Structure 1
Amino acid sequence: MFGQIFMTGDGLDWLRIALALASLAAAIAYQIVERQPPSALRTGLKTLSIGLLVPLPLLALGQGPALPLLLLAAAFLFSSAGDLFLALKGDARNFMRGLGAFLVSHLFYIAVMAPLATGPETLALKAVSLAVGLAALAVYWSLAARLGAMKLPVGAYLAVILVMVLTALAIPEASPVLGLGAILFMFSDSIIALDKFRGPIPYRGIIVWTTYYAGQVLMALPLLMLLTK
């Protein structure tokens, strides 16, 4: 997997590896400063963690179909924008801006994955898909009474991310890595929602960030592999 993505022999392998390592370094550094007061450094590290992945699909143009690679780059870009908005404090509207950016990111992910989906072929994948759907409904049911005017936006977001996860699970060729990544992404967002609307969750910062970043990486690698094989 890694050789196919990072070692293509086109003279840009060093750049791909540098971007991936810089992304990982930024993610680790952000986790270290995550509990500190908002600052340009903290915001920059959070934004760059996924933002540094944006060029990877663009560097693969010519090795696979152009449109899906561009859509994947857009998914990373809007995820990075979502991170930026959520990192900014002092304006309550930034939460909705972040929610909107991540919703668009999930739509781009769906656009990349839908043509690759053939359906969960094994009983295990079907069981996981059912469990994910029930878990999403349970999360929304537990939040609904507390959402107020946010009920529709949060419900729409949850529906879109659920479709994204189910689409990832419907690509057996990339399972279980891709499906696990999508589930971790959804889990991270669920913790954010529960923490915001129901009450503080212990160790929220480390739980949200590690599952979110791991989820993005576990989605990025198999998708890049599938699109450039």
Structure 2
Amino acid sequence: MDILETDTRYRRKNTADAVSRALFLLPFLASCGLYFFLWLPEPSWLSAGVKALPILSLVVFLLAQARRDGAWAPSALGICWGLLFSSVGDTCLVWSLFLPGMAVFAGGHVCYLWALGLHPLHPRLLLLGGLAWAGAYGALWPCLPPGVHVPAVGVYGALLAAVGWRALAHPAPRLAAGAGALLFMASDLALALDHFCGRLPHARLLVMATYYAAQGLLAFSAPRVRPRPKET
């Protein structure tokens, strides 16, 4: 009976903890609302700051989480670094610096891969990720200008697909990471299609809505350092 009571208390604590974490995401949601409400023209330093604010609020969310726990979970630290890279990449894209922005975002995806790890492998998901990468790259290929863009987009797309593979390979508690990775892929594909292949209707709205949702889910999926429940 004591073991059952301990397990029930632990589950209630986990539920309360999830609700508390969701409340700490309110600054992120508010800053996303501010971005879409202001809808500032680009480029400008003000628009760059407003665009990066939701991502930086997620960094603060993870910092607060680590402070409450008294330590960093290694994968949470990797996601935090990925968010910092992303905020720099956002600034590059405000000024249409596509290649530098892509390079910085690639660094962010390396951080996400570090956070997600390589186990379990799930080779079938790897195959699906490879097929998704091949399909997206094939759609973009006719639109890419000759030169460095051809290999750069290919390598970046492979990194993005790898993040999706690793996020989806985790068991059910990491479904938020899987959903975030898929939304990131959708956001970047829409951005690339709009940039290289012609204007997409409402491209900026589509790209930013899926991008912010992706980053929010990835940050929320970051595990915490938790003490094990005491057995009585």
Q: TM-score range by the shorter chain?
A: 0.7 to 0.9
Alignment-derived partner of residue 55 in structure 1:
60
**5+ residue gaps in structure 2?**
1-13, 227-232
Match of 2:49 in 1: 44
Aligned residue-pair number: 209
Which residue does the alignment assign to 1:109?
Answer: 112
C-alpha distance 6-58 of structure 1, shift in aligned 2 (>3 A): farther
Does the CA contact (< 8 Å) of 1:60 and 1:69 recur in 2? no
1:75 matches 2:82:
yes
2:3 maps to none
Q: Which residue of 2 aligns with 1:187?
A: 186
Structure 2 counterpart of 1:138, from 135, 141, 150:
135
For 1:12-51, list aligned pairs within 5 A: 17=24, 20-34=25-39, 36-51=41-56
Alpha-carbon distance in 2 for matches of 1:207, 1:48 = 18
Identity of aligned residues (%): 31
Q: Which has the larger radius of gyration?
A: 2
Given the superposition, is the C-alpha separation of residues 69 and 135 from structure 1 closer, same or farther in structure 2, using an over 3 Å criterion?
closer
Q: Which range moved further: 211-220 or 48-57?
A: 48-57
> Residue deviations 1:133-191, cap 9 Å, x none?
32321110122233222011111100111111100011114343221110001110011
Q: Whole-Å Cα distance in 2 between the matches of residues 174 and 221 of structure 1?
A: 11
TM-score for the superposition, normalised by structure 1: 0.80
Written as runs of structure 1 = structure 2, the 5 A alignment for 1:63-102 is 63=69, 64-89=71-96, 94-102=97-105
Q: Could you list the runs of 5+ residues in structure 1 that have no partner in the other structure? A: none
Q: Output the amino acid matched with 2:35.
A: Y
- Check the 8 A contact 2:35/2:51 in 1, yes or no: yes
TM-superposed deviation, 1:221: 0.8
What is the rounded CA distance, in whole Å, between the counterparts of 2:196 and 2:15 in structure 1?
39
Conserved 8 A contact 1:129-1:169: no
Helix, strand or coil: the match of 2:58?
A: coil
SS in 2 for 1:53: helix
Query: Are 1:219 and 2:218 matched, yes or no?
Result: yes
Contact 1:35 1:205 in 2 (8 A): no
- Give the Å deviation of 1:82: 0.9
Are the aligned partners of 2:168 and 2:177 in contact in 1 as well (CA < 8 Å)? yes
CA contact (8 A) 1:120 1:171 kept: no
Segments ≥4 residues shifted beyond 6 Å: none
Matched residues in 1 for 2:48 and 2:40: separation? 12
